[in-house]
């Protein structure tokens, strides 16, 4: 099982980045793919997720209207388009695959077993 995250980088305030998370090797269904982020000295924060079957999406209040999550089923890849970036968006972003629930989005990262390696996003002011 592998989740390959990439797309992070350094961007100025107001800029955009697109993260991607490619899933491979799953032998069981996963219900959703999503993102958490972790800023220096802070815990892991839920950002967004997309349901693998019906495409429904969830966003934290801090990123709603600025971030957009989407998926390409043919490529088993989920994208997180991040616009109007702010310094407080600076963090390591981790994607995960949800094999726990088809209907709930948990803010506790310990619920999820499968994680990508993380990609750094730095927003400079």
Q: What's the whole-number mean pLDDT along residues 28-56?
A: 93
CA dihedral 72, 77, 83, 86 (to 10 degrees): 160
Task: State how far the Cα of 59 lies from the Cα of 25, in Å rounded to an integer.
Answer: 27
Judge contact between 92 and 115, C-beta under 8 A: no
CA angle 112, 23, 15 (to 5 degrees): 90
pLDDT digits (tens, 9 = 90+) for 58-103: 999 999 999 999 999 999 999 999 999 999 999 999 999 998 887 7
Report residue 48's pLDDT band, with 50, 70 and 90 as the boundaries.
very high
pLDDT, position 53: 87
Tell me the pLDDT band of 30, cut-offs 50, 70 and 90: confident
**What does the pLDDT read at residue 80?**
98
- DSSP label of 105: -
């Amino acid at each position: 099982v592998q989740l390959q995250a990439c797309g992070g980088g350094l961007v100025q305030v107001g800029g955009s980045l697109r993260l991607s998370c490619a899933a491979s090797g799953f032998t069981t269904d996963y219900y959703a793919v999503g993102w958490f982020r972790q800023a220096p000295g802070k815990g892991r924060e839920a950002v967004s997720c997309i349901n693998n079957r019906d495409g429904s999406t969830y966003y934290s209040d801090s990123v709603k209207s600025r971030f957009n999550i989407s998926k390409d089923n043919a490529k088993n890849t989920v994208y997180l388009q991040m616009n109007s970036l702010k310094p407080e968006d600076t963090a390591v972003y981790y994607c995960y695959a949800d094999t726990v629930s088809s209907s709930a989005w948990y803010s506790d990262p310990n619920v999820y077993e499968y994680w990508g390696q993380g990609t750094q996003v730095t927003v400079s002011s």
